[in-house]
């Protein structure tokens, strides 16, 4: 382990241009063992200081015909590990322009992995504009469309979440109709919204819970997204809504709160109920109490 770290440190000390040349040589020579460490080092270097010439060169290598699919996989892996907006742009451009193939599948997987990469211990909403640009072109390929929508949700920017909600709002009036309909952007957005995990988006989703119609597609999509998030901030938003909700919303309370699994959320919910804070509907309050008791064994 110590030797690997020392080797990585030596690689990371090299300028990005030299490291890229070394990486290409390893790729051409099929030096798989050394490639793995060099990939981490080069990705680290590109995160610290982007190099437009290197990204252009990577794109050129990826588009070329001289490499095997296994070698191109290493190129995609390098971009995936880098996970910057520039790296994502290279992968997206190739995904948009390539026909369905083994490479395209790798590219679509790369987009999802990149947007889920929390390097630096944070979300990366700066990736969203690159994806939004493709989304606004309304690609006809379903797999690409769904991947881009999911990537936007993963990145978790406020603008990206608003874009997905707008696509849902411009569709059919209910979730069931969207799921059966032919509006592919709306369907992709509806599925993607459940992948949002960035708590910074909670206020946008919570605002949509103010819709009076419990069957409204944006209301349902927002509630589903908050329930799936698994964050205390999302649970707080759902609880605030539940306290004002009519008795007709009882099935939704059971559905959404049954998904909660994080300990902080459960502790806060129990505390709130113990303090006997008022609810507009006693039926909803009782349903919430029963639901919490039922999910406790699964959490333990």
Give the residue-averaged pLDDT of 28-55: 92
Residue carrying structure tokens 């109920």: 273
> What pTM value is reported for the model?
0.93
3-state SS, residue 181: coil
Residue carrying structure tokens 């979730």: 175
Give the residue-averaged pLDDT of 274-283: 91
Give tens-digit pLDDT for 16-36.
899 999 999 999 999 988 999
Angle, helices 32-48/16-28, rounded to nearest 10 degrees: 150
Domains and CATH numbers, the chain: 1-113 (1.20.930), 123-229 (no CATH), 241-300 (no CATH)
Which are the contacts of 205, defined by CB distance < 8 A and separation ≥ 6? Answer: 161, 196, 222, 225, 226, 234, 237
Q: How confident is the model at residue 1 (pLDDT cuts 50, 70, 90)?
A: low
Q: What is the structure's pLDDT at 227?
A: 97
Q: Is the pLDDT of residue 299 over 50?
A: no
Nearest to 61 by CA among 42, 78, 39: 78
Lowest mean pLDDT among 75-79, 87-91, 153-157, 167-171: 167-171
Give tens-digit pLDDT for 192-212.
999 999 999 999 999 999 887
More confident residue, 225 or 5: 225
Q: Is the pLDDT of residue 3 over 80?
A: no
Q: Is the pLDDT of residue 217 over 70?
A: yes
Q: What is the structure's pLDDT at 211?
A: 80
Q: What is the DSSP letter of 259?
A: T
Give the residue-averaged pLDDT of 236-256: 96
Rounded to the nearest 10°, the torsion over CA 124, 136, 160, 237 is -150
Please state, in angstroms and rounded to a whole number, the distance separating the CA atoms of residues 117 and 246: 40
Identify whether the C-beta of residue 271 lies closer than 8 Å to the C-beta of residue 238.
no
Q: What is the structure's pLDDT at 7?
A: 67
Averaged pLDDT score across all residues of the chain? 92
Identify whether the C-beta of residue 82 lies closer than 8 Å to the C-beta of residue 47.
yes
Q: What would the two tokens of residue 203 be?
A: 């206020």
Q: How confident is the model at residue 2 (pLDDT cuts 50, 70, 90)?
A: low
């Amino acid at each position: 382990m110590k030797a690997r770290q020392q080797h990585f440190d030596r690689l990371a000390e090299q300028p990005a241009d030299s490291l890229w040349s070394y990486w290409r040589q390893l790729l051409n020579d099929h030096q798989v063992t050394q490639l793995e460490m060099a990939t981490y080092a080069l990705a680290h270097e590109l995160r610290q200081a982007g190099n437009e010439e290197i990204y252009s060169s990577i794109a050129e290598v990826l588009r070329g015909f001289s490499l095997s699919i296994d070698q191109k996989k290493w190129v995609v892996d390098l971009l995936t590990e880098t996970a910057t907006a520039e790296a994502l742009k290279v992968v997206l451009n190739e995904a948009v322009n390539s026909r369905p193939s083994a490479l395209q599948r790798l590219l679509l997987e790369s987009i999802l992995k990149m947007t889920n990469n929390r390097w630096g211990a944070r979300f990366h909403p700066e990736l969203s504009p690159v994806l939004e640009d493709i989304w606004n072109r309304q690609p006809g390929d379903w797999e690409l469309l769904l991947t881009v929508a999911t990537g936007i949700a993963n990145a978790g920017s406020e603008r990206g979440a608003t874009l997905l909600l707008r696509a849902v709002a411009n569709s059919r009036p209910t979730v069931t109709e969207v799921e059966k309909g032919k509006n592919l952007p709306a369907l992709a957005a509806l599925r993607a919204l459940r992948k949002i995990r960035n708590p910074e988006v909670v206020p946008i989703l919570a605002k949509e819970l103010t819709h009076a119609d419990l069957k409204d597609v944006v209301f349902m999509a927002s509630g589903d997204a908050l329930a799936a998030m698994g964050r205390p901030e999302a649970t707080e938003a759902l609880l605030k809504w539940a306290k004002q909700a009519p008795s007709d919303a009882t099935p939704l309370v059971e559905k959404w709160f049954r998904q909660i699994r994080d300990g902080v959320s459960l502790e806060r919910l129990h505390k709130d109920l113990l303090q006997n804070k008022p609810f507009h509907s006693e039926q909803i309050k009782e349903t919430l109490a029963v639901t919490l008791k039922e999910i406790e064994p699964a959490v333990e």
